[in-house]
Structure formats: structure tokens, C-alpha cells
A and B are shown apart, each in its own frame.
Chain A
């Protein structure tokens, strides 16, 4: 049986004194562990959202189906406050024996991640130059080829931008999990607010903002590399 010594952080601790203390990072429930919790959940949410929404939106946009109904449905899921969704789901999850985590927070964050990915994919494919699509068809491309080799290729950068927006939003929102029986990076905000420890609140906010910023930056570099060769050449000739 392990004893969890959850000693509270000193109330008058300085923001950087705490951030630069190796113990704050390495202890069993330290920053690294919390960071891991947050990164894992956010990664899964963004992956699930990407691998469901990109195919769905691409197919709908390619066939020009459900333009109004689906985009409405997806946008609606963004209009409902994330905290309300998670807060309502927690008691339901508890009563069904599924625990505090991960379903309530997963579903709430997923609802946040779906709209930007869906809408960016849909719009990008819909707005691909019809001339390019017609030319492909005229050259005897099959419908699948048109979708994968023309439309999706030309839409890549806008789709990735959608994924980036979704990822940053999810990372910045994930801390609500700490207020709903979970942990993750939001725990420092929760404990700081609960224990009237301003240093801890500010340090927690810095960590969350830092992770969100890093997420945005790393997606930018991915966007640069992931662009198909043809599209990149197109971009360089256009600017020349």
C-alpha cells in the first residue's frame, strides 16, 4: 500500500522558484506526470477527430452532399459550452460505473475539436479549382483519384490548419479536467485557486499557455513538411 503524500505547495512560493525547482517536475505527481496526462488525452482527442472528420468532410464535399445539415450539426456542437458538457456527463459516467475519466472529458473535448477540422476540410475541398478537377476527369482519373490526388492534395494546407486550430483549442481547454475529478496540467490552477496560492495559479497558467504555444509551433513545421511536392512547387512558382 503506497502512501500518497500530497503535501501542499507553500502559499508564498514564487512563480519561478516553483517552476525552476526540479522537485516540482520530477515528483510522482509533478509537472512531468501532469504534462504526460494532458498530452496523451489531447493527442487521442485530436487523432480521433482528424480521422473521423477529414474522411467524412472530404466525402461530403466531393459529392456535394449535406452541405447545410452537416455543417449545422457540427457547428452546433461547438456552441455548447465545453465545461457544461463535461460537467453534465461526469455524474452520468459515475452512476454508470465508468468513473470520472476518461469519457466525460474526452467527449467534451471531442465536441470542441470536430468543428474546425470538419469545416476546414469541407470548405477546402469544395473550393478546389473546378478547372483542376475537370482536367483530372478529362484525363481519365477515377472519382477516387480525383478525391485523393487532386482535391485532398490541393486542400492539404487548409485541412492541416484546421487540425492545428483544433489541437490548440483542445490543449488550452483540457485543464477543465482538473475541476472534474481528473488531473493533468489544470491541477495547478485548481489547487492554486482552492488554496489561495497565486504563485501556483500563475505558474499553472504559464505551463498551459506554453504547451498551447508549443502545439501551434510544432503544427506549423508539420504543415511545411506535409505539403505535397506539387503543391509546394505551385506555391513557389506563384510567389516568384
Chain B
């Protein structure tokens, strides 16, 4: 008996298998032995680009890296490390502080923050590497025509306040702004807005008068907004830093540590702003932006 369709199907499957193996072996010339490093960015454009930069950099160095689709935020990232689903995350150190030690005093000095979160990460089996000079801090943003120049100035203006759901439970955010012992601001009302460009849209439209955003949001300069000075020092230092599963770090030895520290040292705040402008204003893909930057710096 003859089944021509069956034959064709088998041929197709074999061909696909050959193609897939061929692709898998494609970039194996300078590979480094060790476990696969699973990396996932948090789900907002800057974090996605950062994850791509670290991931593509390590791939080019010959590490076996799997860059997973961005999902979740800090809590999910830290849970991923804890539950052994991720091996490398990149976070903002002040953010890590609020997640790991919510009751600890915040500080604008990155070394003071690292002194608290370093041991906290060790407890969940992860190692915090050197932080980068690149900072993306919390920004208390108002429209350009606001009379305020510091956050304290907002106290009596009766502003409508907009921020993400996370902000409303944080001592370094809404709770700190409204705490009479710190800023003691009396907001007229509050609006919960998903973190991202919608914050800027709402501010520009006058739906809210102040939002909590990040200092590297490109729309701040595009729209002529003002970032108010944190005169009471509520916002913690927010340098970016990679955190690696300690077991993985041990397997690779000093090489992985040195490679990551070298990359972190090269990223600047201006780079973050430039990446965000590319992804959010020019609407380009994060992986392309990352590749371009790495090529420009001669890192890949």
C-alpha cells in the first residue's frame, strides 16, 4: 500500500527537526560551560530594554542565556529568584529595599541601601552585584505651570494625585507624602492609574495635578513637566543592579561576576533616558534598541 501524504508528512517532520537542530547549534563557537541563565525583564519598557541589554551582552560573551518574555513587576521578579524560576534579574536598588525590607529607613545614598538589601538577597539564595551609575528614581511630577518647586510646596495646593496601585501602600510613596510627620500633603482626591504613559496623558489633560513617575520617563521633557525636588529625602536611591542566583554565580566563578560588573559600570542615566525615548516615543522594539547600544559600545 502506498500513502503519499503520510510520506510527505514524515519528510516534513524530518526536515523541520533538521532545521531546528541546525538553528540550535548556530552560535556555539565560543560557549562557556555552565547552567542556563534564565532572565526576565519586568513588564515596562525600560526594564525590558535593560533585560535585553544584560541578556544579549551575556549571550555575546558565550553564556547560555534564556531571555524570557517580560512579565510582572518587582514582586514577581524576586519570587522568581526565590522559587528558582529565574537566575538573573535586574532591579532598582531602592525598589528592592521596599520589597525586601519595607520597614527599613530609606536613604538617598546607594551604599546605605545596598548594605541592607545585599544580606536580604543572600537570604533568598541570590547575590547582589555592583550597582550601576545609572539611576531611575521616583519622580514627583507636576505640570510646567505649577508654582511648586519642591514636594513640600504642594502641601496646601489641594492637588489631585495620580499614581499606580503599588504607590498607595508604600511608605516611600503615597503614605510618605500624606504622613504629617514627613510631607503631610492633603490631596483633594486620588486616582489610581496604571504605571506608564497613561500617567503623563492624565497629567497633561488636567485629570490629575501630580503623578508619581520615574525620572527617566522621556515624556517629562517632551511635555514640559517638572520633577519636584524631594526636599525631605523620602525617595530612596534607585540605581540599577543585577542580582544573580548564588548557585549559578558559583558555577561560573568570578568570570560572570566580572562580566556583569563591567557592563553595569558602563550604563548611565542618560542611556536609560535615550532607550526610553527610542521605545516610548519612537515606538521601537526593546531588543533592537539594546542591540544597537551594545554594538555602539563595542560590547557585542
Residues of A within 8 A of B (CB): 1-6, 8, 11, 90-91, 94-95, 97, 99-100, 178-181, 183, 187, 190-191, 193-196
Chain B residues with CB under 8 A of A1: 158, 186, 188
Q: Name A97's closest neighbour in chain B (CB-CB).
A: B205
Contact A190 to B165, CB < 8 A, known contacts A4-B189, A6-B174, A90-B198: yes
A94 touches B165 (CB 8 A): no
Partner of A8, one of B75, B158, B169, B202: B169
Q: Can you name 16 extra interface pairs (CB under 8 A) apart from A181-B193, A194-B166?
A: A2-B188, A2-B189, A3-B186, A4-B188, A4-B190, A5-B178, A6-B168, A94-B205, A95-B205, A97-B205, A100-B202, A180-B198, A181-B191, A190-B165, A191-B168, A196-B75
- A contact face: mostly helix, strand, loop, or mixed: loop
Taking residues whose C-beta sits less than 8 angstroms from the other chain, chain B's interface range is 20 to 34
B206 interface residue (CB < 8 Å to A) = yes
Closest to A189 in B: B165
Q: Which residues of A contact B198 (CB under 8 A)?
A: 90-91, 180-181
B192 part of interface (Cβ distance < 8 Å) = yes
Tell me the minimal C-beta distance from B159 to chain A in angstroms.
Answer: 10
- A178, B178: Cβ atoms under 8 Å? no
Chain B residues lying within 8 Å of A94, measured Cβ to Cβ, are 201-202, 204-205, 207
Most buried by A among B165, B166, B188, B204: B165
Chain B's nearest CB lies how many Å from the CB of A9? 8
Give me 12 A-to-B residue pairs in the complex whose CB atoms sit less than 8 angstroms apart, sorted by A's number.
A2-B188, A2-B189, A3-B187, A11-B169, A91-B201, A95-B201, A100-B191, A181-B198, A191-B168, A194-B164, A194-B166, A195-B169
B194 at interface (Cβ–Cβ under 8 A)?
yes
Tell me whether B165 and A194 are in contact (CB under 8 A).
yes
- The docked-state distance in angstroms from the alpha carbon of A190 to that of B190 is 15
The answer to whether B164 and A90 touch across the interface, beta carbons within 8 angstroms, is: no
